[in-house]
Amino acid sequence: MGVSGPIRVVVAKPGLDGHDRGAKVIARALRDAGMEVIYTGLHQTPEQVVDTAIQEDADAIGMSILSGAHMTLFAKVIELLKEREAEDIKVFGGGIIPEADIPSLKALGVAAIFTPGTPTGDVVDWVNANVPSAA
């Protein structure tokens, strides 16, 4: 008891977006910072993302969305986490997300949004500061 392990993060590419370079860059940066990263691959449904996070005992889900479906996909993941009583899993994301949508996403329960050009170190620092390890 009282022993904690590395932060576990599921990095997900939900929806029909087929571009995953940014997700892979973030996954690598988090891994290089000592976190355990589970990358789900392309074309995941919100149900698959949440199932993976719960099965892997993740502390956070980081979603990369470039398709324009960010409002729907984030809302569904948050809803599923609530239904599964897994609201302790923090959700953050990035991609092509208009600044005007960020307040609405935060109101849904998305903890942070990182827009294009955000240094990977900023994402790592945010995860380290805001995502406690459950292990």
pLDDT in tens, 65-102: 999 999 999 999 999 999 999 999 999 999 999 999 99
Say which residue the tokens 């609405």 belong to: 104
Q: Are 112 and 130 in contact (CB under 8 A)?
A: yes
Within the chain, what is the greatest distance between any pair of CA atoms?
43
Three-point CA angle 129, 19, 88, nearest 5°: 30
pLDDT at residue number 135: 55
Q: Which tens digits make up the pLDDT trace of 37-61?
A: 999 999 999 999 999 999 999 999 9
Amino acid at 49: V
Beta-carbon contacts of 113 under 8 Å, excluding residues fewer than 6 positions away, are 92, 93, 94, 97, 102, 105, 106
